[in-house]
């Protein structure tokens, strides 16, 4: 006789120990996914590094990094595998987070949660892609601002640090419309208020892009400021549609 899986108890009926047990189970699954993804990324390190080197090769016309210590190669491989593991395992991490939070949500909250999670993932990926597109221009600016007497010979760790910083900043700031729409749904902001603040928002977005852009070059700042302002206007339109 086939045994049926027992239904999950409701959050209100779960004890503190059951909540902690559920959380531990989710954490173990997430750690296992990250570990497995890290092993895959460690093996595929040459291919991943080749992708990350593409902007450097386009700008400097050579695809060789220079290390000054015997452990630099190992530390770089571990760092690349670690960051790649987080990216590869992110669907599992988000799914486990969703499964842990879902029982405590109402039906209407679940309806909004799925599009918000999907939009958050898509916007972060879009931000990372834009960062990778503007990165060659950032390298050209950083290589020319010091004068023609400087030769660009980069350490792989410092280069990778700049790439990851730029990708992270773009990915996180591209979540801006999700934040605005959430505040509109919660009643904290209204489309009329956002439209009234339009001029000040433009000034603030430009200043924010100038401050948080890691490379400090004008192309990267514009590549961040222009989408953020378009997101601001899009949030006003979405807020008006929600009101209707």
Which tens digit of pLDDT belongs to each residue from 165-187?
Answer: 888 888 889 988 888 888 887 77
The closest of 120, 85, 114 to 98, measured between CA atoms, is 114
pLDDT attached to residue 109: 62
Q: Is the pLDDT of residue 35 over 80?
A: yes
DSSP for the chain reads -PPPPPPPPPGGG--HHHHHHHHHHHHHHHHHHHHHHHHHHHHTHHHHHHHHHHHHHHHHS------SSTTHHHHHHHHHHHHHHHHHHHHHHHHHHHHHHGGGS-HHHHHHHHHHHHHHHHHHHHHHHHHHHHHHHHHHHHHHTT-TT------HHHHHHHHHHHHHHHHHHTTHHHHHHHHHHTTSS-HHHHHHTHHHHHHHHHHHHHHH-SS--HHHHHHHHHHHHHHHHHHHHHHHHHH-
pLDDT attached to residue 13: 58
Confidence of residue 75 (pLDDT cuts 50, 70, 90): confident
Task: Give the total residue count for the chain.
Answer: 244
Domain boundaries along the sequence of the chain: 16-104, 114-149+158-244
- Among 10-24, 121-135, 159-173, the least confident range: 10-24
Q: Ranked by mean pLDDT, which of 49-53, 114-118, 150-154, 198-202 comes out on top? A: 198-202
**What predicted TM-score, i.e. pTM, was given to this entire model?**
0.75
Question: Above pLDDT 70, what percent of the chain?
Answer: 88
Section 101-124 average pLDDT: 74
Confidence of residue 110 (pLDDT cuts 50, 70, 90): low
pLDDT attached to residue 108: 65
pLDDT attached to residue 9: 55
Question: Residues 199-233: pLDDT tens digits?
Answer: 999 999 999 988 888 777 888 888 889 999 999 99
């Amino acid at each position: 006789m086939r045994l049926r899986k027992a239904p999950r108890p409701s959050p209100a009926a779960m004890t503190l120990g059951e909540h902690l047990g559920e959380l531990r189970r989710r954490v173990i699954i997430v750690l296992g996914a990250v570990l497995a993804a890290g092993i895959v990324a460690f093996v595929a390190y040459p291919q991943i590094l080749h992708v990350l080197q593409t902007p450097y090769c386009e700008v400097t016309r050579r695809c060789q990094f220079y290390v000054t210590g015997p452990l630099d190669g190992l530390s770089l491989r571990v760092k690349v595998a670690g960051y790649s593991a987080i990216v590869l395992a992110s669907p599992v991490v988000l799914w486990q987070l969703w499964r842990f939070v879902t029982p405590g949500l109402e039906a209407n909250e679940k309806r909004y949660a799925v599009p918000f999670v999907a939009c958050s993932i898509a916007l972060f990926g879009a931000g990372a892609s834009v960062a990778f597109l503007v990165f060659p221009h950032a390298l050209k600016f950083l290589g020319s601002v010091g004068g023609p007497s400087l030769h660009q010979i980069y350490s792989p760790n410092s280069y990778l640090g700049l790439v990851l910083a730029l990708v992270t900043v773009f990915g996180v700031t591209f979540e801006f419309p999700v934040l605005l729409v959430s505040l509109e749904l919660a009643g904290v902001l209204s489309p009329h208020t956002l439209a009234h603040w339009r001029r000040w928002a433009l000034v603030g977005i430009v200043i924010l892009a100038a401050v948080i852009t890691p490379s400090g070059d004008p192309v990267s700042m514009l590549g961040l400021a222009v989408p953020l302002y378009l997101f601001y206007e899009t949030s006003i339109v979405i807020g008006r549609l929600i009101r209707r």
